[in-house]
């Protein structure tokens, strides 16, 4: 097998699934991980006729499981050229003072701990690949721009941004590139997960406007990963043209 290998976390839906399809179109071999085994099997069945596909059911929050998946990669999938750290989620859209602490911990454990678990496990491989290798971390505009109800989600995505920047400093002599891709409003399962299955809330968020699609972000991930080896995109913030920033909130006397 001579194709390059991309390792994608959270590949069972949204950006991760679309990214798997985009890299498969270009002939890359795929390592696809996620918590939903049946979806991974469906992806392998769909894409396996095009490119080599290795799947692994994985909860990135569990470091021992991450280490096991990386250690047990088949020989044909060991030379990873691109890591896409996509696994993540938002919960608890209500104000901070009304949230369940467990939801905060779940976001921290997934968006931060899971990110560093996978990155640390694959760093030796990516450094060995060297020039042209990429780590692409999926952040969010919420990591840069606060809004009501973002609390720990936004804070976790600010971590993604700073981790990406600082990791890039450490890897400067290795040839490994690091990018924080920060999407704005995109129509995926994001709001369904955040609202714990409230389809009406999801439909209301995306109705009467034109959000980004998962395929839009996948195209940018592929673009960053396939740039000439001497180019590093530090951060790529992507909003739909119909989304922008709001003014400052002001509390006034009645």
Active site residues: 153
Tokens in use for 159? 């971590």
Tokens in use for 176? 């490994």
Type and span of the H or E element at 84: strand 80-85
What angle, 0 to 180 degrees and rounded to 10, lies between the N-to-C axes of helices 115-129 and 63-71?
Answer: 30
Query: For tokens 């939903």, what's the residue?
Result: 36
177: region left, alpha or beta (phi > 0 left; psi from -120 to 50 alpha): beta
Radius of gyration of the chain (CA): 18
Contact 221, 22 (CB under 8 A): yes
Tokens in use for 247? 């003014």
Q: Which of 151, 243, 231, 212 is nearest to 15 (CA)?
A: 212
Counting Cβ atoms within 10 Å, is residue 97 exposed (0-12), middle (13-18) or buried (19+)?
Answer: exposed
Query: How far is the C-alpha of 231 from the C-alpha of 7, rounded, in Å?
Result: 21
What angle, 0 to 180 degrees and rounded to 10, lies between the N-to-C axes of helices 115-129 and 151-170?
Answer: 20
Q: Which of 161, 137, 145 is nearest to 224 (CA)?
A: 137
Counting Cβ atoms within 10 Å, is residue 170 exposed (0-12), middle (13-18) or buried (19+)?
Answer: exposed
């Amino acid at each position: 097998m001579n194709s390059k290998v991309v390792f994608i976390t959270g590949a069972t839906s949204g950006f991760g699934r679309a990214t798997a399809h985009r890299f498969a179109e270009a002939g890359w071999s795929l390592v696809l991980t996620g918590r939903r085994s049946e979806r991974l099997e469906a992806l392998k069945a769909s894409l396996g006729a095009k490119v080599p596909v290795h799947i692994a059911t994985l909860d990135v929050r569990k470091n021992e499981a991450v280490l096991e998946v990386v250690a047990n990669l088949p020989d044909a999938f060991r030379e990873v050229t691109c890591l896409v750290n996509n696994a993540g989620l938002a919960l608890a859209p209500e104000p901070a003072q009304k949230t369940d602490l467990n939801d905060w911990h779940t976001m921290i454990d997934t968006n931060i701990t899971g990110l560093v678990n996978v990155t640390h496990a694959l760093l030796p491989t990516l450094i060995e690949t060297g020039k042209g290798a990429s780590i692409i971390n999926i952040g969010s505009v919420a990591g840069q721009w606060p809004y009501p109800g973002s609390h720990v989600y936004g804070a976790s995505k600010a971590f993604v941004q700073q981790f990406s920047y600082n990791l890039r400093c450490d890897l400067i002599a290795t040839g490994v590139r690091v990018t924080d891709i920060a999407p704005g409003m995109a129509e995926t399962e994001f709001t369904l997960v955040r609202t714990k299955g409230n389809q009406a809330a999801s439909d209301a968020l995306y109705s009467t406007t034109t959000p980004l699609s998962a395929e839009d972000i996948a195209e940018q991930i592929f673009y960053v990963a396939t740039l000439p080896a001497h180019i590093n995109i530090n951060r790529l913030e992507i909003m739909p043209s119909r989304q922008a920033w709001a003014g400052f909130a002001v509390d006034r006397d009645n």
